[in-house]
């Protein structure tokens, strides 16, 4: 590998293993895996999922739906509240796709009833405690109204209830992650039963979030899971106990450009435009932007204990190191940074390099 | 304007005014303006600078140097410590450019002496208190060694001393910004005199940072300024007093996709992949990701008092609003977010739309 600038390394063995494990877990629990492709945004990595029999996917934007549709995917859920300004593109996509959309208001559904010219499946976005968006589970009346609004419209189909229990990211232990997942599952199951009885139709349940799907062992009542980050994992997931360090499958190789012996710090080319400004706080220490590893022939090492990306500006990263590590590092060599949040890092890096020197593209 | 998705709006009048003011200020103080193009990364915006007679520029990466070289720029400073792994590209660039490079160690200079095949101008990176990188001003011995190392090498020319007083971003008042700028100026002047006397050569002084260059009124001893952010400004600069709100020249138009009346919050399509996760803390309030404006016909409004982007995930923004503003907003309309840090936002958005419906490209 001839690396001259910040480069997103991808460990293909780990990615394949992460995919295989989640596929097997979904199979074992009898749930459909509809992986979220916003993490990798890559047609080539998408094919690795297809090799495992995956044929339904989740994306986070209309542009991403378009990209994966062009790459042969035919059953796509856009897991973001419908943006009615993009109705023309949605109509175009719905012509060729089994298109799944997310709604949470009467206004948006009314708009789709009038302007969506193709059949589509709508999912009701439910907020099970994350507090981002969706109908709060307590608002059963609105959920009932929305359900009736959809089932009375011929060209709209109701998929069911969809939630992203993103509050799992604030959990302080794997047990808490599982408790949040379980709470979401039960809340949705209660609503499903209520709506099925009231409207006489079948309601499916779709849940997301990598921490929950990685750690939970009980999926009763769930029809579909939509984790995405598990394909790469990252330091946030490691902190939550959702993965091991050896599961983290992407990392940024960064050239060392300066050393500061007075403060045991080196400067890398690897800044906010490569890693993102996502931070991680651990053990009451100041927030940091990533762990630091050495580059080996066919992989990166385990992280150097006590080494952290302490600060970032647009292109610079400041890496703080224990003295003995600092002394071994030479200007011009590469350090490898494990990202705090791999989705944002991949989104910035716009491509991958495997240890077989294969370059993988992402959507533009 | 037919905006269907998150779009980076650019107010051309403001950009032109920002450029004009800095050009005029540099002229008035007899310093060369070598603007930093990492903020806009756009050949078309570069032309607006050229219209003002600018012919020397600053960039933050070798790729950016290459992009602007392809767009006709011939005098380029890469304001980042030389990455020796990229020596082939540097040699290629130095063939056609007046190439300026930044160094701060004997190792890197020694490497350039051996491997740089074309003439280039080297600048000594000095740390005047920011604590990121560069030789601390206290280390006169090293600065003298580096100077001698360069001046004894025929194909390398010494430009002088270069600093970025980035600690101005932590200032709590315009006066403090000016004090930091002035302190940097004097420290560099002291070192310049010392090196000129010791080596019998001419040493120039180049300083950066938009807050300092916007607010300072004394530039004695300075030869060149390299601000970049001033072309757009942003909320960080506004907080520092380096600009007025009406100087902020880019903002992200974001479709409203959901409303939450119980918490006076709306959800916009505009997340970490559009705005970046850069935050601003003000008045002991929790950190936020941007101010929020209404979209008018030919501009955006002043920001809505008390409205903030409270949280971001990959694609979602949560906007917290005063009740009366909340009530007026409809699903499907656009809100406009003033960015905390316009450099990172522009870097993510990869293009601009003016109010004349002109799309401006950025480097890829």
3-state secondary structure of A303: coil
Sign of the CA dihedral with B178 first, then B182, B188, and B192 last? positive
Return mean pLDDT, chain A. Answer: 97
Q: Kindly report the nearest CA distance between residue B28 and chain A, in angstroms.
A: 30
Please give the residue of chain A at the shortest CA–CA distance from B105. Answer: A258
* Mean pLDDT computed over A125-135: 95
Between helix B140-151 and helix B174-199 the angle, nearest 10°, is: 50
d(CA A227, CA A176): 18
Tokens coding A118:
């193709």
User: What's the confidence (pLDDT) of residue B1?
Assistant: 64
CA trace torsion B322, B328, B329, B334 (10° rounding)? -110
Residue B284 binned pLDDT confidence (cut-offs 50, 70, 90): confident
Phi, psi angles (nearest 5°) of residue B55: -135, 5
> Parallel, antiparallel, or unpaired for β B120-127 and B156-163?
parallel
Residues in chain B: 364
Whether residue B347 and residue A273 make contact (CB cut-off 8 A), yes or no, is yes
Backbone angles phi, psi at A313, to 5 degrees: -120, -165
Specify the pLDDT at position A1: 64
| Chain B (210-249) residues lying within 8 Å, Cβ to Cβ, of chain A | none
Q: What is the pLDDT of residues A292-317, one digit of tens each?
A: 999 999 999 999 999 999 999 999 99
Q: In whole angstroms, what is the distance from residue B187 CA to residue A223 CA? A: 67
- Mean pLDDT of the residues in chain B: 97
What is the C-alpha separation between B312 and B271, in angstroms, rounded? 5
How far apart CA B326 and CA B319 sit, in angstroms, is 9
3-state secondary structure of A127: strand
Task: For residue range B81-122, list pLDDT tens digits in order.
Answer: 999 999 999 999 999 999 999 999 999 999 999 999 999 999
As a whole number of Å, the end-to-end CA separation of chain A is 24
B72 in the Ramachandran plot: left (φ > 0), alpha (ψ -120 to 50) or beta?
Answer: left
pLDDT value of residue B70? 97
* Rg, C-alpha atoms of chain A: 22
Contact yes or no for B315 and A61 at CB 8 A: yes
**Interface pTM, i.e. ipTM:** 0.96
Confidence band for B17, pLDDT divided at 50, 70 and 90: very high
Residue A283: per-residue pLDDT: 81
Predicted confidence (pLDDT) per residue in B35-55, tens digit: 999 999 999 999 999 999 999
The rounded distance, in Å, linking the Cα atoms of A44 and A31 is 25
Instruction: Inspect the interface and report whether the beta carbons of A276 and B272 lie closer than 8 Å.
Output: yes
C-alpha distance from residue B259 to each of A99, A202, B141 (Å): 24, 27, 62
Instruction: Sketch out chain B's domains with CATH numbers.
Output: 31-227 (3.20.20.10), 245-361 (2.40.37.20)
> What share of chain A in percent tops pLDDT 90?
97
Across the interface, of B85, B260, B314, the residue whose CB is closest to A38 is B314
Stated pTM of the model: 0.97
Report d(CA B292, CA B302) in Å as an integer: 8
The pLDDT value given to residue B27:
98
């Amino acid at each position: 590998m001839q690396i001259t600038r910040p480069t997103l390394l991808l460990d293909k063995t780990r990615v394949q293993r992460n995919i295989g494990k989640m596929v097997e877990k979904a199979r074992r629990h009898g749930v459909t895996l509809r992986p979220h492709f916003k993490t990798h945004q890559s047609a080539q990595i998408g094919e690795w999922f297809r090799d495992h029999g995956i044929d339904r996917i989740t994306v986070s934007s209309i542009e991403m739906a378009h990209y994966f549709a062009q790459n042969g995917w035919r059953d796509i859920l856009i897991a973001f509240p419908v943006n009615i300004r993009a109705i023309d593109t949605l109509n175009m996509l719905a012509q060729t796709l089994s298109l799944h959309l997310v709604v949470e208001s009467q206004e948006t559904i009314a708009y789709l009833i009038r302007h969506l010219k193709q059949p589509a499946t709508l999912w009701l976005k439910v907020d099970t405690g994350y507090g981002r968006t969706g109908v709060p589970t307590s608002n059963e009346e609105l959920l009932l109204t929305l359900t009736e609004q959809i089932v009375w419209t011929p060209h709209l189909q109701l998929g069911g209830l969809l939630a992203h229990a993103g509050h799992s990211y604030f959990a302080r232990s794997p047990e808490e992650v599982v408790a949040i997942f379980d709470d979401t599952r039960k809340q949705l199951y209660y609503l499903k039963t209520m709506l099925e009885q009231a409207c006489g139709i079948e309601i499916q349940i779709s849940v997301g979030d990598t921490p929950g799907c990685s750690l939970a062992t009980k999926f009763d009542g769930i029809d579909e899971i939509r984790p995405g980050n598990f394909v790469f994992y990252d330091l946030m997931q490691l902190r939550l106990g959702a993965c091991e360090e050896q599961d983290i499958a992407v990392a940024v190789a960064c050239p060392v450009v300066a050393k500061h012996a007075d403060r045991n710090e080196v400067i890398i080319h690897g800044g906010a435009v490569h890693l993102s400004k996502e931070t991680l706080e651990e053990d009451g220490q100041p927030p940091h932007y990533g762990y630091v590893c050495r580059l080996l022939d066919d992989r990166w090492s385990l992280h150097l204990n006590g080494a952290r990306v302490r600060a970032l500006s647009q292109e610079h990263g400041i890496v703080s190191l224990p003295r003995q590590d600092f002394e071994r590092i030479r200007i011009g060599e590469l350090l490898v940074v494990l990202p705090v949040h791999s989705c944002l890092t991949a989104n910035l890096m716009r491509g991958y390099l495997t240890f077989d020197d294969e370059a993988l593209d992402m959507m533009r």
